[in-house]
Amino acid sequence: MVALVRHRGERRMNELPSAELTLELERKIDQLCDEFEDALKRGVLPDPVGYLNRVPSSVSAHLICELVELLRAYTVLSQPFVHTVPPQQDSSRVASNGEPRQTREDTPDSTLDACDFGDFQLLGAIGRGGMGTVYRAHQRSMSRMVALKLLVPGGNRWSRRAAVNLLRREALATAQLQHPNIVAVYEVGELAGQPYYAMQLVDGQNLGQLSAGQPLECRRAATYMLAVARAVHEVHLAGILHRDLKPSNILIDSQTDRPLVADFGLAKVIDPLQADSLSGDCIGSPPYMSPEQVLDSRNVSEATDVYGLGATLYHLITGRAPFVVATVAETLHQVLTVDPLEPTELNPSIDRDLNAICSKCLEKDSERRYATALELADDLQRYLEHQPVTARPIGRIGKTARWARRNRLVAALGSITLVSLIVGTIVSTGLYLNARSKARIAADAAAFSQIKLSQLCQSRAATSEATGGSIPWMTQALRFDSGNPTREMTDRVRLAVLLERTPSLEQMWFHTDEVASIDVSHDGRYVLSGGHDGIVRVVNLHDNDVVSSIDHGARIVNAGFGPDGRFVVTAGTDKSVRLWRLSSGGLEASLPHQQVVLGFAFSHDGELLACLDSNRSIRIWQLFDGEQLSELAHDVSVESFGFGPDGSWVFTAAGNIVSLWDVHSGECRFRLPHHAAVIAVQVSQDGSNVETLDAAGTLRRWASTEGEPVQSRSLQHLGRIERGAFSPDRRHVATTSADGMIRLWRVPSGKLLQAFGNAGSSSKLAFSPDSKRLLAIDADVTVRAWEVGSGEPLGAPMVHAGNVSEGRFSLDGQHLVTASKDHAVRIWRLPDTLAANIPHGKTQLQDCALSGNGRHLVLAGQGNTARVIDLRTEDVHDLPVSQQINAAVFGETPAMVWTGSLQGTVQLWNVSPPRLVRDFEHGSKLQSLAVGGRLLATAGEEKTIELRDAKTGRIRWSLPTPGPRKRRTLFSRDGRYFADACGPTVRLWRVDGRNPQVVFSHEFSGIATDLCLDSSSTRFAAASADGQLIVHELKSGQNFESRLAGISFVAFSRTGKRLLVGHFNGRAEVFDADSGKLMPLTGSHAGRVVHGDFDPAGLVCATVGLDGWLRVWDATSGELVRAESMGTPLFRVFFAKRGGCIVTASQNGDVAFWKHGVVLNPIGELEHLSELLTGHRVNMVQGLVPLTPAELKSRWQTRDATRFGDLSSAVNATDD
């Protein structure tokens, strides 16, 4: 039996202290691993502790490693880890005749195979992958055939955001490459929110198809690979790694027999500061992946592509991949631990030299391969010219050494046995020392396994964010990291960010069967739900009290409020429609039908009721006297219907026809024909116009009095429109189509306003009553909401334990009511990560500073502006300055502020009430102000910096500077040190003695851009525009120097252990002052990083940039944990003492407060909260498993309301 990734290879042996393994113990470990693997295959996660108890403690470390690797294989490599929902019929997909409607889930994406896409006519799909689809297309403007790659949802490997980034990266990477053996890119663009790129259409087969399982002639294969290797070398020279070289990604032109390298979807830019959007993921094609790529996709180099070239050559000359086994996990296991068969063992006709070339490419150790693709190409050239090649066959000794490197434990045991015969005393000493470290080995191994499991969960949390499944995985990671203070705190910060973005669950109630219908009263006070259990519950939305409970007496199909809110209407499987008084729950009227009523609609005055039955007929009733006015029969299912404004006519949409009917006579006034099924209808407020949208994307306006089209617009989609909804204000229409996008259009112009990304198909769209928000019910367990104006999502997706059947906004749009097949009705409050916003918008900021206690902010700007903001109360104090201010800083207390003007005037202000305390003339245009203890530093255009008494303004010392260049100044927090930067010169002064003394100075080759001191005055850092960074240890006098990209700012954490470094190119990294290592932060800003700060614990850092984005990072791992956009360039960011807030100041003077905190609740409570918010629990083998209705109800009933309240108060502020 072959275990999936059970390898005692080099990587793990380097991670754990070694321990002795006898052959008997090794067999025991194999046996236990086989049992563990069998359990995993059955979908069961066994208790690892029981297995550890069956081996001696001295080898438990090795067994833990084996079990963790098996778990990794089955959870990461073998399963997609998607939400698992038991199959059940979705009532939203049942037509009025009771037959299932056909949705995008039921049909292949063949609707995309023959349609127009902008300038391109799609002629059919060439190939499909997990990220996109390539179509044969005709580009009309250039009159040429192209291959068009589009992002089309298919599977769940990537979130849509990640897939869009991959597609764009592939296009941009390929577009810059110009080589005869690389597929050319013609055009890169985006149409209606759909990214695409057009490339050279290659007529012919790929190498995989060409070989068709049979080896190619050796010289032909070498000729192909020679050209490919030279092309790959050009790719490397351009700073790009392909990372997915394999036969199917090399196309052969049928006319020229020329190979062309294609598919740069997994390409990586070779840049140590450029983060990979797939960092840490195991990406690539397993049979052709190198060992280092399997372990970590970030740890790749040119040698990785050399391996891919060798694996492709192996396939061509043997007819198969280097590793051919049953599962992906077994393949990756063999890539890491097993040498492939020699090519000559599979094809004896292979030349000895070509066999050696191929084997050298496939070395496990990347340093033993060809250093570059060019070296491989040169060796292939020598082979084709019958010259000696540099690669040499591996002999017996070489094979033995290679085996020993991968099986160090067994090899070491053999060596120990030999040595023990010679030097027994040395062995005895070694055994004694090893015995002393057994306890440490076991402890290290346990910690190691917990970290590995936590990393698995964190990876799943990152990939589940688009589907709302991050919280359970992050909570599980927190459990694995408990006991590791640093990792645990980081998890709690990440979990806090996720909870802040997640709508809070304010109320939940349950039916004993599926919930069929929900509604919100017109005054916004009440919510009702009707279930298949025959019960209607009415709940007060404001206090969550149950107002009424009504028993229809049969399974409810639909329920809703009357227009005036005094009545409730129910329709059941007993073929009746009943009216109930809300206040008493008493029955008022019953309207009998011959068929089950599926839906109903009221006239605007509430006097008439239209009921649609399962026989496709609509009956019009005089509501309170029970008289049937007319019956409207249809031949096909009715999609939608409703009354005109005056109640005299009704519209119905059935198939391709919209009909206008007279209410009293039942006669059809007009039939409005369409070319495709009608999916949405709305009537103008005065009833003069009817607007319709069909599945072909045609938006039409009709005159209701004439039945003639007035206006027609075509909405550009990729494929047919699946769902549509008009906004209540009649100004917009939202649509979903086969490309998985939700789009917002202006009515009636048809102008595209927004395109919202969506991971899958949506079964329903709905606007809030004020038309400012939009929700989409996905065809699974999630509901999403967006702000219509900005297109920004309103928090994370709301996840349920069963398919969602209904969703409604509250009257104010702040709440969402959802119903799902898990028998539950939920009331969500939509989140707002922006705690407050103080607009200004009238100035260009010149300076901004935070007070020493972190509770006040001062801003100085053009236009004679200076204001102080109390961050706790949000009180604003505008100082009555009369000159243009370009510098401001707090005095000894936050109650006093110093300002400096362009005219050289320095003024001291009392903040509340605002009044001038003192002023003096500096003598020249002021560039910088700084306060430290009792000193005030003023720097102008002259060649000196004045250190003054902070109370009187009297000059105490004048410090000479190199010249009248722009200066930066700062004091240490304790006032003992003063630093200044002028041109390329930085200096650090000791100023607590009789005379200031320079204790450190440095001359950069470029202009100094920033400098900082840590809060304890132990470290000083400075940086320059040309990328020089220097960190000076004040006590030891040691310096750390590094050369990076141009640096825009530097900032220490409170403890001084970490330094945040920002760059003009938008990137940032964290410098660990203790280890001297630089850690790049994943991702980057689109422009210059202007400023940054650490949270009080130094675990999280934030940056702001000219791109208008606030980005928050995990300072320990470099991962991005949140990103917020202000839409305008930002100037400063601070972690303030305001109940856990991040404060940002925009260049236009606006100040925003962003919620930020950490969850401090016990892990058990957080797991309880996680299961309630998502309806799922974590199973390390099966992924996210939905709770049963009974489990969900139990979780709700046992929640700790005193701690969580409405399940939104788990996030605690983080102050010093």
Say what the pLDDT of residue 963 is: 67
Residue type, 128: R
Comparing 87-91, 207-211, 810-814, 1182-1186, the range with the smallest average pLDDT is 87-91
Q: Lowest mean pLDDT of 550-554, 743-747, 758-762, name the range.
A: 758-762
Average pLDDT score over residue span 130-153: 81
Given a contact cutoff of 8 angstroms between Cβ atoms, the answer to whether 372 and 236 are in contact is: yes
DSSP-assigned states of every residue in 638-687: EEEEEE-TTSSEEEEEETTEEEEEETTT--EEEEEE-SS-EEEEEE-TTS
d(CA 240, CA 182): 13
**At the fourth CATH level, which superfamily is domain 597-714?**
YVTN repeat-like/Quinoprotein amine dehydrogenase (2.130.10.10)
User: CATH topology of 113-155+157-200 equal to that of 597-714?
Assistant: no
Q: Determine the average pLDDT of the residues in 386-390.
A: 91
| Tens-digit pLDDT profile for residues 330-385 | 777 788 878 899 999 999 999 999 999 999 999 998 889 999 999 999 999 999 99
Residue pLDDT, tens place only, 757-813: 654 566 789 999 999 999 999 877 899 999 898 787 888 899 999 999 999 999 989
The contacts of residue 1194 (CB under 8 Å, 6+ apart) are: none
14 band by pLDDT with thresholds 50, 70 and 90: very low
Rounded mean pLDDT of 388-408?
Answer: 56
Q: Which residues contact 340 (CB under 8 A, 6 or more apart)?
A: 314, 322, 323, 334, 362
Residue among 337, 228, 503 at smallest CA distance from 1173: 503
What's the CATH fold of domain 207-398? Transferase(Phosphotransferase); domain 1 (1.10.510)
When pLDDT is cut at 50, 70 and 90, the band that residue 545 belongs to is confident
Token pair 């069967």 is found at 513
- For residues 853-874, give the mean pLDDT: 86
Is the predicted pLDDT of residue 408 greater than 50, yes or no?
A: no
What would the DSSP string read from start to end of 225-254? HHHHHHHHHHHHHTTEE-----GGGEEE-T
Measured distance CA(236)–CA(308) in Å, rounded: 14
At 176 the pLDDT is 72
| 738 close to 720: Cβ distance less than 8 angstroms | yes
Spatial distance between the Cα atoms of 260 and 206, rounded to a whole number of angstroms: 9
**pLDDT value of position 565:** 85
Sign of CA dihedral 621, 626, 627, 628: positive
Average pLDDT of the segment spanning 845-850: 89
Amino acid at 430: G
Q: Judge whether residue 581 has pLDDT over 80.
A: yes
* Token pair of 395 as six digits: 């002999």
Query: Among the listed ranges 53-62, 128-137, 1161-1170, which one has the minimum average pLDDT value?
Result: 53-62
Q: In what order do the strands lie in the sheet with 967-971?
A: 967-971, 977-982, 985-990, 997-1003
Tell how far CA 215 is from the center of its chain: 43
Res 1204: pLDDT: 47
pLDDT at 1179: 86
CATH class of 836-1159: mainly beta
- pLDDT tens-place string over residues 1082-1131: 878 988 999 999 988 888 899 999 999 999 988 888 878 788 888 889 99
pLDDT for residue 117 is more than 70: yes
Which of 68-82, 288-302, 583-597, 903-917 is predicted least confidently?
68-82
Cα 891 to Cα 140, 464, 796, 971: the distances in Å are 68, 48, 43, 12
CB-based burial of residue 618 (10 Å sphere; 0-12 exposed, 13-18 middle, 19+ buried)? buried
pLDDT greater at residue 542 or residue 911 = 911
- Asked whether residue 476 carries a pLDDT value surpassing 70, the answer given is yes
**Which of 48, 33, 43 lies closest to 2, judged by CA?**
33
pLDDT band at 107 (very low <50, low <70, confident <90, very high): very low
pLDDT the model gives residue 1088: 94
3-class DSSP state of 872: coil
pLDDT 10s digits, 275-319:
444 444 456 688 898 988 877 656 688 999 999 999 999 999 999
Torsion angle (degrees, nearest 10) of CA 391, 395, 399, 401? -90
Beta strands (DSSP E) in 447-503 are none
CA atoms of 990 and 1000, how far apart (whole Å): 9
Phi/psi class of residue 143: alpha, beta or left (left: φ > 0; alpha: ψ in -120 to 50)? left
Computed from CA positions of residues 997, 1003, 1007, 1008, in that sequence, does the dihedral angle turn out positive or negative? negative
Mean pLDDT in residue range 493-519:
90
pLDDT band at residue 883, thresholds of 50, 70 and 90?
A: confident
Handedness of CA 1166, 1167, 1169, 1173 (dihedral sign): positive
610 membership: H or E segment, kind and range: strand 608-613
Tell whether the model's pLDDT for residue 441 goes beyond 60. Answer: no
Give the residue, 650 or 99, on which the prediction is more confident.
650
Lowest-confidence segment of 158-167, 191-200, 419-428, 1046-1055 by average pLDDT: 419-428
For the CA atoms of 945, 1060, 1048, 298, the dihedral, rounded to the nearest 10 degrees, stands at 160
Tens digits of residue pLDDT in 16-71: 444 456 667 777 887 888 788 777 766 566 666 677 778 776 666 667 667 766 66
Task: Count Cα neighbours of 635 within 13 Å in the Cβ-side half-sphere.
Answer: 5
**169 pLDDT exceeds 80?**
no
Residues 6+ apart with CB under 8 A from 689: 683, 701, 702, 703, 704, 710
Burial class (CB in 10 A: 0-12, 13-18, 19+), 591: buried
Per-residue pLDDT for 407 more than 60? Answer: no
Question: Mean per-residue pLDDT for 160-180?
Answer: 66
What count of other Cβ atoms lies within 10 Å of the Cβ of residue 868?
24
Give the rounded distance of the alpha carbon of 471 from its chain centre. 13
Q: Is 496 within 8 Å of 1157 (Cβ atoms)?
A: yes
Interatomic CA distance for residues 817 and 700, integer angstroms: 32
Sheet hosting strand 567-572, strand order edge to edge: 556-561, 567-572, 576-581, 587-592
Cα–Cα dist 806/92, whole Å: 8
Give the tokens for residue 1080: 């790049």
Q: Measured between alpha carbons, how far is 837 from 791 in angstroms, rounded to an integer?
A: 19
How far is it, in rounded angstroms, from Cα 769 to Cα 766? 9
Which CATH superfamily is 113-155+157-200 part of?
Phosphorylase Kinase; domain 1 (3.30.200.20)
As a whole number of Å, the end-to-end CA separation of the chain is 56
Confidence of residue 1206 (pLDDT cuts 50, 70, 90): very low
Q: Cα(918)–Cα(1075) distance, rounded to whole angstroms?
A: 47
The domain segmentation of the chain, as residue ranges, is 10-82+407-463, 113-155+157-200, 207-398, 597-714, 836-1159
Q: What angle do CA 647, 653, 654 make, to 5 degrees?
A: 135
Q: What is the pLDDT of residue 1125?
A: 82
Angle (deg, nearest 10), helices 424-436 and 408-422: 130
Q: What is the average per-residue pLDDT within 105-123?
A: 61
Selection from 4-13, 65-74, 715-724, 1100-1109 with the highest mean pLDDT: 1100-1109
Query: What confidence tier does 509 reach under pLDDT thresholds 50, 70, 90?
Result: very high
The DSSP result for 1080-1135, as a single string, is EPSS--SS-EEEEEE-TTSSEEEEEETTSEEEEEETTT--EEEEEE-SS-EEEEEE
Which residues, 6 or more positions from 291, have their beta carbon under 8 angstroms from its beta carbon? 335, 336, 364, 366
Task: Please check the confidence at residue 1205 and state whether its pLDDT lies above 50.
Answer: no
Q: Hey, what are 1039's tokens?
A: 């310096």
Cis omega (within 30 of 0) for bond into 913: yes
Identify the residue with better confidence: 225 or 564: 225
- CA distances (Å), origin 1192, targets 546, 781, 954, 1175, 1179: 20, 14, 71, 7, 16
Nearest alpha carbon to residue 88 among 100, 78, 70, 74: 100
**Is the separation of the CB atoms in 818 and 798 below 8 Å?**
yes
Which range is least confidently modeled, 118-127, 281-290, 679-688? Answer: 281-290
